[in-house]
Structure 1
Amino acid sequence: MVTLRTYELVAVPDIPPLEIDAPVGATVALVAGPRLGTAVARVLVGLAAPVAGRILVGDRDVTDLPPLRRRIGYVPAGSALLPHLTVGRNISYGQRRRQRVRDVADDWAAVLVDRLELAPTLGLRPHLLSEAQRFRVALARAMACLPEVLVVDLPSAVDGVRLGDLVGRLSPPDSPGVTVLLCSSDDEVLADVADRVEAAGEVRP
């Protein structure tokens, strides 16, 4: 069963279409330079419109849906934490706009905090964290609302972070696991991911 699938997806002009098939619970790498990887990630999560093509999550066509209805979590490049909020409030930020899963997500967010070893940091602001801690906070924020797919834009390696070691902590018990799409061209980041989709071309500066 496939969780994330694209049909002839063109994220930006003059770039060949992408065909992505990411099975349930699998981690798939989109091998793409930083600009193209970020452009594709933003299209998949609904922050930008595609030039052409379709995006499916399970059997749902989400191409024209707003981000909140796609059930796709997103870890942007650099983590993009809100600097004026504590770690705890960063993690819970997205839940405030997803009332239908809030009760379940509150309990699940607490589990994520424990699994990602973030409890000692909950009252801190992002600038007091290491880069690895900020990445784990961004993971917890993205997964707190129980998405079906997680898109991780990771152009370069983060010291102390191996995504493969963290993915197993991100799925609730008795679930098939979250489907992860990793956008990167960094050999160190990609080292643990065997299933890859090569993106042709690059976005012009």
Structure 2
Amino acid sequence: MTAMDQPSPADQAIAADHVIKRFGDGDSVVRALDDVSVTIAKGEFFTLLGPSGCGKTTLLRCIAGFETPTSGRILLSGRDITREPPNRRRVNTVFQSYALFPHLTVAQNVAFGLEMLGKPRAEVSRTVDRMLSLVRLDAFAARRPDALSGGQQQRVALARALATQPEVLLLDEPLSALDLKLRKEMQSELKRLQHETGITFVFVTHDQEEALTMSDRIGVMSAGKLLQVGPPREIYNRPVNRFVADFIGETNFLPALVEDGQVRLTSGEVVGQGQGQGRVTVAIRPEQLHLALPGDGGAIPATVEGSTYLGTDSHVQLRLVDGSRLVARVPSQPSGDLALPAGTQVGLRVAPGAVQVLAD
């Protein structure tokens, strides 16, 4: 990790310190978290990203107090909360299901946590009004949840969770049940809410675009391990290994050879610089490949195998002379579809700095 990945102790909202979580016994034991350490800064939008079963929700539940680590510590603003019950942590959770009370109005749902804390009625009323304004649901205070859309229900759940002013808000895949258009709208809403409240958000998702769109930093997980932590651009452009490169967006993987500081494809072309010696795997993002005329000086010869029109761009499937296959993303033109039928000979140019030499 770089210094940017490690907030100073005074700036830390959450710290997981060598957290291990096992489920089961003997031969059936599952190591859901495998020595995970990470610090999350106050006021940060931090995303835990990974496939189902990678451990991201287990880590979230350990922070919330719904699970207790087998070993290791969870710190909240420097205080050890590893074995404190959930109600003693200034941490709230928004679940995928929203978990609204169907018999209560929107305003009553938002007020619930404040009333449980014994807040005065006038304070509860002021806070509810402020929260509903924040999530833009002022006009819906008297409605019940079943009269709301999915996006509106989610905003009520957010208002309820924010009303008690937690130090940290945990969000467990809260957008996964929404349709694509509404999900994109709510991504902007969540980022706005986090910015306006200044509360630390810890967001769990398996959606790479969600993570890249909203996060200040991302932690990529696999098989209970935290593989890489960093800002979205760093995770996307400088993945530490093949799993991260493959999981974050689309990537071409090609066999190559590093010799005397040069990275050479097995088809013979030099595509970049690299350290070490011997056979490696390189990753090149599709948008970093540019089509050229065949035989154009320095271009990699390739054959078109097909193309797929996707509106904003076309994905062109290509084959190199050594049989390696890859995809180039070509921006769409107003004039119409890309005229590259299968069998067309083209050249390929790789954008400077686009080649990533990966660890296994």
User: Which range, TM-score by smaller chain?
Assistant: 0.7 to 0.9
Report if the CA contact (8 A) 1:102-1:145 is conserved: no
Matched, 1:9 2:19: yes
- Structure 2 distance, partners of 1:23, 1:56, is 12
AA in 2 matched with 1:108: T
- Aligned pair in 2 of structure 1 residues 194, 85: CA closer, same or farther (>3 Å)? same
Look up the SS of the partner of 1:48 in the other structure. coil
Matched, 1:189 2:210: yes
**Superposition pairs of residues 154-193 of structure 1, within 5 angstroms:** 154=173, 156-157=175-176, 158=178, 159=182, 160-162=185-187, 163-169=190-196, 171=197, 177-190=198-211, 191-193=213-215
- 1:145 — aligned with what? 164
Report if the CA contact (8 A) 1:91-1:144 is conserved: yes
The C-alpha deviation readout for 1:153-191, integer Å capped at 9, x for no partner, is 11654413112133223x2xxxxx211111111123212
- Aligned pair in 2 of structure 1 residues 58, 165: CA closer, same or farther (>3 Å)? same
Report if the CA contact (8 A) 2:92-2:170 is conserved: yes
TM normalised by structure 2 equals 0.50
- Aligned pair in 2 of structure 1 residues 57, 124: CA closer, same or farther (>3 Å)? same
- Structure 1 distance, partners of 2:124, 2:50, is 32
- Structure 2 distance, partners of 1:101, 1:200, is 46
Deviation at 1:24, TM superposition (A): 1.0
Q: How many residues align?
A: 196
AA in 2 matched with 1:124: R
Report if the CA contact (8 A) 2:45-2:214 is conserved: no
- Structure 1 distance, partners of 2:68, 2:113, is 21
- Which range moved further: 53-62 or 103-112? 103-112
Report if the CA contact (8 A) 1:155-1:185 is conserved: no
TM normalised by structure 1 equals 0.84
- Structure 2 distance, partners of 1:34, 1:90, is 31
Report if the CA contact (8 A) 1:73-1:149 is conserved: yes
The C-alpha deviation readout for 1:20-79, integer Å capped at 9, x for no partner, is 211111111111335543333222111222222211110211111121211001111121
**Superposition pairs of residues 1-80 of structure 1, within 5 angstroms:** 1-13=11-23, 14-15=31-32, 16-34=34-52, 36-80=55-99
The answer for unaligned runs of 5 or more in structure 1 is: 172-176
The C-alpha deviation readout for 1:74-116, integer Å capped at 9, x for no partner, is 1111212122222111111112222369875653332111111
Deviation at 1:131, TM superposition (A): 1.2
- Structure 2 distance, partners of 1:99, 1:60, is 25
- 1:111 — aligned with what? 130
Higher RCO, Cα 8 Å, sep 6+: 1
Report if the CA contact (8 A) 1:33-1:155 is conserved: no
- 1:174 — aligned with what? none
- Structure 2 distance, partners of 1:3, 1:29, is 14
- 2:305 — aligned with what? none
CA-atom RMSD in angstroms? 2.3
Q: Which has the higher strand share?
A: 2
- Structure 2 distance, partners of 1:179, 1:102, is 27
- Which range moved further: 96-105 or 142-151? 96-105
Question: Percent of pairs identical after alignment?
Answer: 28
- Aligned pair in 2 of structure 1 residues 178, 155: CA closer, same or farther (>3 Å)? closer
AA in 1 matched with 2:186: V
